Amino acid sequence: MTPLLEVKHLSIDFKLNDQIIPILKDISFTLNKGETLGIVGESGSGKTVTVQSILRLIPKPPLYRISGEIWFKQQDLLQLPLSDLRRIRGQKIAYIFQEPMTALNPVLTIGEQISEMLKEHQKIKGSDLKEKVIELLYETGIPSPELRVNNYPHELSGGMRQRAMIAMALSCDPEILLADEPTTALDVTIQAQILDLFQKIARDRGMAVIFVTHDLSVIAEIANQVLVMKSGTIMDYGDIFTVFDHPTSDYTKQLLAFI
């Protein structure tokens, strides 16, 4: 089976205060359809930079140099012209941020924000639009979605905001979902609900998910494949049972000892 996403020898340098600092050093991994890949590492490991670079979300400063290839459907995303990349962002590959309060527009209702996505990318109009929005909110487990469409982000709890963000990400039926620490700021019972949600939508939609976290037990809960990162390099990579039972690096062994 050809992989859905193939990252080959990705290396990134940042320029900070006139110093060139290597952030990612030769990262390679693949993602297959329907798979959930967990990227785990501590702060500074480069895990967020890795997923952000898939959609080229890192700004020019501090980004200094990027090399390697990221193959998605026979296209190297790193070489794609911006106009083509924009069509992939949000439509084929969606991104979910860690802190929904900063990722959601505070002056628009969540209904308006999701509608915007649908209008832009899927050209849905009118009453179909409202229906589809409610459907999405329902799918992500928001109770009374027909009422919630008119809520502003600050009127929702942390867990519900995260669900709203997931609904927004799903609105264009993406093939890959990139989730950057989506449950880190949530209470443990809400986190459990959201993790279940991720598994359900990945299963129902046949989506591939890359889930970034610093918490190895979250990976144990939902991932099929694991990528362990430290200081921009890969410490361990493979099927989850293999990595958990036979970790190759001491770092991974340490992390496993802590959970």
Candidates 132, 214, 231, 238; binder of other proteins (CB under 8 A) is 214
> Counting every residue, how long is the chain?
259
Residue 48 binding other proteins, by CB under 8 A: no
Q: Are 50 and 27 in contact (CB under 8 A)?
A: yes
Per the DSSP assignment, residues forming a β-bridge with 209 are 36, 177
**Contact pattern for other proteins over residues 193 through 212, marking x by CB under 8 A:** x-xx----------------
Q: Which of residues 137-156 bind other proteins (CB under 8 A)?
A: 143
Q: Are 151 and 165 in contact (CB under 8 A)?
A: no
Q: Are 132 and 123 in contact (CB under 8 A)?
A: no
Residue 42 binding other proteins, by CB under 8 A: yes
Residue 56 binding other proteins, by CB under 8 A: no
Complete edge-to-edge strand list for the sheet that includes strand 63-72: 19-31, 5-16, 63-72, 75-76
Residue 192 binding other proteins, by CB under 8 A: yes
Q: How far is CA 222 from CA 57, 59, 252, in A?
A: 26, 31, 18
How far is the C-alpha of 226 from the C-alpha of 38, rounded, in Å? 5
Residue 165 binding other proteins, by CB under 8 A: no
Nearest distance in Å: CB 225, other proteins: 11
How far is the C-alpha of 229 from the C-alpha of 233, rounded, in Å? 6
Residue 85 binding other proteins, by CB under 8 A: no
Q: What are phi and psi of 253, to 5 degrees?
A: -60, -40
Candidates 159, 182, 232, 247; binder of other proteins (CB under 8 A) is 159
Residue 244 binding other proteins, by CB under 8 A: yes
Candidates 28, 158, 205, 231; binder of other proteins (CB under 8 A) is 158
Nearest distance in Å: CB 239, other proteins: 10
Interface with other proteins (CB under 8 A): 42-43, 143, 157-160, 187-193, 195-196, 214-218, 220-221, 223, 240-241, 244, 254-255, 258-259
